[in-house]
Amino acid sequence: MSQREHFGSRFAVIAAMAGSAVGLGNIWRFPYVLGEYGGAAFILVYVAASLFVALPIFYAESVIGRRSRLDTYGAMRKLAPGSAWKWAGLLTVVSPLLILSYYSVVGGWSVEYLFKSLSYSFTGNSTEAEVQNFFPQFISSTWQPLVSHTIFMAMVAGIVLGGIKKGIERFSKVAMPLLFVLIIVILAYAISLPGSFAGVEYLLKPDFSRLSADAVAAALGQAFFSLSLGVGTVLTYASYVKKDENLMVSGVETAVSDLVFAIIAAFAVMPAVFAAGIAPGSGPGLVFQTLPFIFNKMGQGMPLLSYLISISFFVTILAAALTSAISMLEVGVAFLVDEKGFKRRSATLLLAFCTWLIGVVCSLSFGPLSEVKLLGLTFFDFLDKLCSNWLLPLGGLVFTLFVGWRMKKADVHDEFTNAGSCNRRTFPIIYILIRYVAPIGIAIIFLSSLFL
C-alpha cells in the first residue's frame, strides 16, 4: 500500500475538521430546529449536549482513527482482531453515504439559489409573492432540482478526487476563514433590518416552559449532526492526523468553531425571520424562504448592497455544505482504498455515482414521488429520520462503547495523551464521559425516538 496521506499542518487539521462540522446543519438545520423548540432555552441545552455528550464521542472517534490509521471498518478489525466489531465499522461506511445522498439535494438548492441571486432574481423586479412562491415551486419541480443536485455532487467528487492534501485540505483552508468573515457580514446586515429586534430577543430570552424531553433529544440529535458524529467522518479524518497533534485541542477547537458558527448563524437568520414576519417554527424551508424575501425587500431601497449580500449568503451556504459533504464521501473512499485496493479515482467516482442515484429519488420525493411513502414519510424525510434518529446515535454508541469498554484503557490513554506528553490531567474526566455519560445521552435519543 502506498504511504498514507497526512494533513499538512495544525491549521489544516482544524480547517478540515471544522469544515466537516460547519455546514448545512448550522445554517439550514439549526435555526429551524431552534425555532421549533422555542429559542434561547434550547440553545442552553444544545451547548450542554455538545460539550458533555457530543465532544466525548468526537474524542472516541479521534482515538480510534488515529490509533489505527485506517478507515472505519479496517480500524475496528485492526484494534479488535477476530471480533464482530468490524461489522459495526462497516455500518458506518454506509451511513455517511446515505446522509450525503439527501444532503446533496439541499446542497443543490443552495447552488440554485446562488444562480438566482447572481441573476438578480431576488433583488430585481420580482414581486414579493414571486419570491415567496419560488421555494415550494422549485423543490417540487422535476428537473431543476436534479440539475442542481448533479452540479453539487460533481463539485464534491471533484474535490475528493484531489486527495487529502491537494483536495480536501486545500479547499477547506480557503473556505473556512471565508465562511467566518461572510457570516459576520451577514449578521451585521441582519440585525440592522427594521423589525429584527424581536428575533434577537427571541434568541436571548429563555422560555423554559417549552423545554420538553423531546427538546432535549432534539438538542442531542442536532449536536450529533452538527459535529458530524456517529458515521466515522471524524474517525476517518483523525486517521490522517499526525501523531504529535494534540487530539484534545483539535476537538475543542472544532466543537467551539461549530458552536460559535451555529450561534452566529442563528443570530443572522432569526432577526431576518422576524423582520419578514415568518413563524420561526415553520420547518426546513425556513432559511430558503426567509432570506430571499428579505433580500427582495431591501433590494427596493438599496439594490447593490442587497445584491452583494444575497450572493455572499448563498456562497456561504454552498461553501459550508461542500466542506461537509466531502467529509462524508471520504469515509467510503477511505474504505474502498484501504480495504478493497481501489484507486482513489475509481472509488470516488463509483461512490459519488451511487450516492447521486439515491439523491435523485430524494429530490423527486418533493415532487413527482411525493405520494410514495415509507412508514408515512416521503423518501427524503425517511432518510433524514433514519440517519439522524437511528444511524448516527447507533454509530456514536458503537464508538463510545468500543473506546470505553473494549479498547485497553492504557491504549486509549496513550493515544489521547500522545504517550503521556499532554492532557494527562483531563484524561480521567474524558474517560468517564466516554464510558458513562455519552452512552447514556445516546440512550436518551433512542428512547425518545421510540416513545415520543
What residues make contact with ligand TRP under the rule CB under 6 A? 20-21, 23-26, 96, 99, 225-226, 228, 231, 233, 324, 327-328, 392
Cα angle for residues 215, 221, 226 (degrees, 5° grid): 125
Closest separation between CB of residue 106 and ligand TRP, Å?
9
Sign of CA dihedral 216, 47, 385, 234: negative
**What whole-number distance in Å separates Cα of residue 355 and Cα of residue 360?**
9
Rg of the chain, C-alpha, whole Å = 21
**What whole-number distance in Å separates Cα of residue 450 and Cα of residue 253?**
34
Residues 6+ apart with CB under 8 A from 73: 86, 89, 90, 93, 335, 339
Cβ-closest position to ligand TRP: 25
Give the residue with the Cβ less far from ligand TRP, 36 or 275.
36
**CB 16: neighbour CB atoms within 10 A?**
27
In 3-state terms the chain splits into helix, strand, coil percentages (rounded to 5) of 80, 0, 20
Closest separation between CB of residue 25 and ligand TRP, Å?
2
Give the residue with the Cβ less far from ligand TRP, 228 or 378.
228
Nearest CA-CA partner of 11 in 253, 198, 190: 253
Are 296 and 126 spatial neighbours (Cβ–Cβ below 8 Å)? yes
CA atoms within 13 A on the CB side of 81: 2
Are 342 and 335 spatial neighbours (Cβ–Cβ below 8 Å)? no
Closest separation between CB of residue 320 and ligand TRP, Å?
7
Give the residue with the Cβ less far from ligand TRP, 36 or 384.
384
Give the residue with the Cβ less far from ligand TRP, 103 or 427.
103
Give the residue with the Cβ less far from ligand TRP, 65 or 96.
96
**What whole-number distance in Å separates Cα of residue 184 and Cα of residue 263?**
11
Closest separation between CB of residue 229 and ligand TRP, Å?
6
Name the H helices within 69-169.
Answer: 72-79, 85-118, 128-140, 143-161, 163
Give the residue with the Cβ less far from ligand TRP, 240 or 293.
240
Closest separation between CB of residue 225 and ligand TRP, Å?
5
Distance set, CA 370 to CA 101, 238, 365, 374, 387 (Å): 17, 39, 5, 11, 20
Closest separation between CB of residue 408 and ligand TRP, Å?
28
Give the residue with the Cβ less far from ligand TRP, 24 or 160.
24
Give the residue with the Cβ less far from ligand TRP, 121 or 226.
226
Give the residue with the Cβ less far from ligand TRP, 222 or 306.
222
Closest separation between CB of residue 34 and ligand TRP, Å?
14
Closest separation between CB of residue 155 and ligand TRP, Å?
15
Closest separation between CB of residue 59 and ligand TRP, Å?
16
Are 291 and 313 spatial neighbours (Cβ–Cβ below 8 Å)? yes
Closest separation between CB of residue 19 and ligand TRP, Å?
9
Nearest CA-CA partner of 103 in 400, 388, 399: 388
Question: Which letter does DSSP use for residue 433 in this model?
Answer: I
Secondary structure (DSSP) of 355-414: HHHHHHHHHHTTTTTTT--BTTB-HHHHHHHIIIIIIHHHHHHHHHHIIIIIS-HHHHHH
Give the residue with the Cβ less far from ligand TRP, 228 or 316.
228
Give the residue with the Cβ less far from ligand TRP, 26 or 50.
26
Closest separation between CB of residue 30 and ligand TRP, Å?
8
